[in-house]
Amino acid sequence: MNVSADAQPKSSAPSQVKFVIHTDYGDMKGVLYNETPQHRDNFVKLAKSGFFNGLLFHRVIQGFMIQGGDPDSKNAKAGQQLGAGGPGYTVPAEINPAFIHKKGALSAARQGDAVNPKKASSGSQFYIVQGQKQDAQRLGAQYPGKYSAEQLETYKILGGTPFLDGEYTVFGEVTEGFDVIDKIAAVQKDKSDRPLTDIKMTITIK
């Protein structure tokens, strides 16, 4: 007796939400993690409403990360200090040790521990990791038991910023467009790490 395709058991795991961040330097494509549902749903809500469109990557540090999502950056004047804006709320931390700050990690920015001991995330500001390749053996010795062999290998081959692990919520990752991260991170910037030429974004959800 043959079992029809319709009768076969189906996976109950939801598919990952895909996003595209469009810039003049190219597109960064990636996925949002279902294991961080509050961050995923908030990012989707903001993106679909057009909240991010026209905002800047207002802080870039080569070898570290590129940051955006501040609503005050829209049409901001040259030299204007940015980085304090948001939608008026925070998102509870969803820090998961399975998700590390490897290159391409999409993570939520937040205020420091002194005023934010629960590590709640900004409602809209995020950063994408560029980072640097790591000495896996040294990293494993520095943080015994913290990383799996696979995670250590990822830091060795792809690179990242391991010192941020456990401190900020990683809620997705870039899967295509790593060269775009590198191009944005390398631009000329002012003393506040703001690019001298505005780098605007448009974010769509697939």
pLDDT in tens, 83-111: 999 999 999 999 999 999 999 999 999 99
How many domains is the chain partitioned into structurally?
1
Burial of residue 10 (CB within 10 Å: 0-12, 13-18, 19+) is exposed
Mean pLDDT over residues 191-198, rounded? 97
In a domain, 83, yes or no: no
- Assess if residue 143 is contained within a domain: yes
pLDDT tens string 59-90 = 999 999 999 999 999 999 998 999 999 999 99
Confidence of residue 1 (pLDDT cuts 50, 70, 90): very low
Q: 161, 101 in Cβ contact below 8 A?
A: yes
Domain that holds residue 195: 17-73+101-205
Residue 109 domain-assigned? Answer: yes
Does residue 194 lie in a domain region?
A: yes
Q: Give pLDDT, residue 7.
A: 46
Return the H-helix or E-strand segment holding 127: strand 126-129
pTM of the model: 0.93
Distance CA 102, CA 156 (A): 10
pLDDT by residue (tens digit) across 124-180? 999 999 999 999 999 999 999 999 999 999 999 999 999 999 999 999 999 999 999
CATH of the domain at 46: 2.40.100.10
55 within some domain: yes
